[in-house]
Amino acid sequence: MPVYEYKCNKCGKTFSLFLTYSEYDAAVVSCPGCGSDGVQRIIRPVRVTKGEKARLRDVTEEAAGNNSSQMLGKVMRTIQENSGRELPPDTNEALTRLERGESPAEIDKDYQ
Where on the chain is the footprint of Zn ion (CB under 5 A)?
A: 8, 10-11, 13, 31, 33-34, 36
Residue 10 or residue 57: which is nearer to Zn ion going by CB? 10
Residue 14 or residue 92: which is nearer to Zn ion going by CB? 14
For residue 12, CA distances in Å to 5, 33, 76 come to 13, 9, 25
Residue 17 or residue 59: which is nearer to Zn ion going by CB? 17
- Smallest gap from Cβ 47 to Zn ion, in A, equals 24
Q: How far apart are CA 79 and CA 85, in angstroms?
A: 10
18 has which bridge partners? 3
- Smallest gap from Cβ 14 to Zn ion, in A, equals 10
DSSP letter assigned to residue 39: E
Residue 2 or residue 12: which is nearer to Zn ion going by CB? 12
- Smallest gap from Cβ 11 to Zn ion, in A, equals 3
- The vertex-41 CA angle with 29 and 23, nearest 5°, equals 45
Q: How far apart are CA 71 and CA 42, in angstroms?
A: 27
- Smallest gap from Cβ 88 to Zn ion, in A, equals 11
